[in-house]
C-alpha cells in the first residue's frame, strides 16, 4: 500500500510541474471598414472619375488632382488654369482619363501626369461631356453641334445637333435630351436617329440602364423612367439636380445638401445616403463604394456599399 501511495504521489507531482499546453492564439480579425469616410482636399472639387485605382478630379479653379483610392498618399496637383490651361470636366474612356478644356481635350496620364493637350482645335469649348470605352461625346458652348471624338486618334466627327443637349451614352448608343425642345432621341452606331420621348419639361440630367432611359426634368422637379414616350414618375420634389447615375437597379442623384438613391422600378421611396453635404457636384458608383465630391466643403466622401446598399 505504501509503494502504491508513493507512485500515485509521484504521478500527481509530475502532472503539477509539467508545462501547460500552449494557448491557442485568437484568430485575427479583419478591420471593420467605416461606413463613411470624408477626405479633405485642398480646393473645392467639381467633377470626379476613378481609373486604375486613382481618384481624378477637377476643382473650381480649373486644376486637375489625383490621389490613390486607398488614401496612401495625399492629393497631388497635376495641372492648373495656367499650365497647361483651365480644365473643366474629367471623363473616363476605358482605363484612360480625359478632361475638357478651352476648345480641346487633355489626356491625363495616371497616376502622376503629365496633362497633355490633344490639339483638337474645336470650334468652341465643350460644355456637356460623356464617354464610353472608345469615344468622348461633347456639346459645344453656344452651338448646337454634338461631336464624337476618338481621343486615341485625335479624330473629331459631328455626330448630331441638339438645342442645349443633355447627353448620356450606353453600349455605343448616344442619348440626347434637349433642354429647349423637351425631346429625347437616341443616336445608334449607324447614326440612325430614334425618337424616345417628347414634351419633357426642361430635362437637365439623363441616365441609361438596361436599355431604359431615366431623366430629371427641372420644371416639375421629377425623376422619371421613359416608357412609351412618356416619363413614369419615380421621385418628385428633389430640387434642381443635374446629375443622374444608374447602377444595378438604382439611380443616384443629389440636391443642394443630399445624395439620394432612387429604385429604378419605383418600388419604394428614395433613400438618403448623405444629408450633410454642401453643393455636391459629382457621384461615382463603384462595386464597393459610392464616391461624392462635396464642392463647398472641400472634400470627397466615400460611402461603403454593404448588404442592402
Is the pLDDT score of 4 beyond 70? no
What is the full DSSP assignment across the chain?
-HHHHHHHHHHHHHHHHSPPPPPPPPPP-PPPPPSEEEEE-SS-EEEEEEETTEEEEEETTS-EEEEETT-SS--EEEEBTTTBT-EEEEEEETTEEEEEETTEEEEE-TTT--EEE-----SS-EEEEEE-SS-EEEEETT--EEEEEETTTTEEEEEEE-TTEEEEEETTEEEEEETTT--EEEE-TT--EEEEE---S-EEEEEEETTEEEEEETTTTEEEEEETTEEEEEEE--------EEETTEEEEE-SS-EEEEETT--S--EEEES--SSEEEEEE-SSEEEEEEGGGTEEEEEE--TT-
- Write down the pLDDT at residue 11: 42
Span 4-14, mean pLDDT?
43
Percent of the chain beyond pLDDT 70? 88
**Architecture of the domain defined by 34-130+276-309:** Beta Barrel (2.40)
- Write down the pLDDT at residue 5: 44
If 0-12 CB within 10 Å is exposed, 13-18 middle and 19+ buried, where does residue 264 land? buried
Is the pLDDT score of 27 beyond 60? no
Q: Where are the domains of the chain?
A: 34-130+276-309, 162-275
Span 36-54, mean pLDDT?
97
- Write down the pLDDT at residue 241: 74
Q: Mind listing the pLDDT tens digit for each residue in 273-295? A: 999 999 999 999 999 999 999 99
If 0-12 CB within 10 Å is exposed, 13-18 middle and 19+ buried, where does residue 63 land? buried
Do domains 34-130+276-309 and 162-275 share one topology? The answer is: no
- Write down the pLDDT at residue 17: 47
Q: Mind listing the pLDDT tens digit for each residue in 124-149? A: 999 999 999 999 999 999 999 999 99
Q: pLDDT tier at 28 (50, 70, 90 boundaries)?
A: very low
Please state, as a whole number, how many other Cβ atoms lie within 10 Å of the Cβ of residue 295. 19
Q: 0.95 cut: is pTM over it?
A: no
Quick one: cell of 185? 432621341
In CATH terms, is domain 162-275 a member of 2.130.10.10?
Answer: yes
Amino acid at each position: 500500500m505504501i509503494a502504491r501511495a508513493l507512485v500515485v504521489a509521484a504521478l500527481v507531482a509530475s502532472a503539477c510541474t509539467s508545462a501547460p499546453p500552449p494557448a491557442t492564439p485568437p484568430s485575427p480579425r479583419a478591420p471593420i471598414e467605416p461606413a463613411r469616410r470624408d477626405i479633405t482636399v485642398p480646393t473645392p472639387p467639381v467633377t470626379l472619375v476613378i481609373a486604375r485605382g486613382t481618384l481624378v478630379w477637377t476643382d473650381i479653379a480649373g486644376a486637375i488632382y489625383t490621389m490613390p483610392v486607398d488614401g496612401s498618399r495625399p492629393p497631388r496637383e497635376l495641372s492648373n488654369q495656367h499650365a497647361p490651361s483651365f480644365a473643366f470636366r474629367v471623363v473616363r474612356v476605358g482605363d484612360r482619363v480625359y478632361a475638357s478644356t478651352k476648345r480641346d481635350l487633355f489626356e491625363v496620364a495616371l497616376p502622376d501626369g503629365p496633362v497633355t493637350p490633344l490639339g483638337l482645335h474645336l470650334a468652341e469649348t465643350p460644355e456637356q461631356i460623356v464617354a464610353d470605352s472608345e469615344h468622348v461625346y461633347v456639346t459645344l458652348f453656344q452651338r448646337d453641334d454634338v461631336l464624337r471624338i476618338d481621343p486615341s486618334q485625335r479624330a473629331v466627327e459631328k455626330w448630331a445637333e441638339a438645342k442645349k443637349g443633355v447627353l448620356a451614352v450606353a453600349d455605343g448608343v448616344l442619348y440626347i435630351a434637349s433642354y429647349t425642345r423637351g425631346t429625347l432621341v437616341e443616336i445608334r452606331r449607324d447614326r440612325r436617329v430614334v425618337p424616345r420621348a417628347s414634351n419633357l419639361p426642361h430635362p437637365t440630367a439623363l441616365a441609361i440602364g438596361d436599355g431604359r432611359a431615366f431623366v430629371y426634368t427641372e420644371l416639375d422637379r421629377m425623376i422619371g423612367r421613359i416608357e412609351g414616350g412618356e416619363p413614369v414618375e419615380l421621385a418628385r420634389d428633389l430640387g434642381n439636380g443635374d446629375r443622374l447615375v444608374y447602377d444595378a437597379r438604382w439611380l443616384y442623384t443629389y440636391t443642394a445638401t443630399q445624395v439620394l438613391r432612387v429604385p429604378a422600378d419605383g418600388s419604394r421611396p428614395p433613400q438618403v445616403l448623405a444629408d450633410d453635404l454642401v453643393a455636391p457636384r459629382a457621384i461615382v458608383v463603384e462595386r464597393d463604394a459610392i464616391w461624392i465630391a462635396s464642392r463647398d466643403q472641400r472634400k470627397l466622401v466615400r460611402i461603403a456599399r454593404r448588404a442592402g446598399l
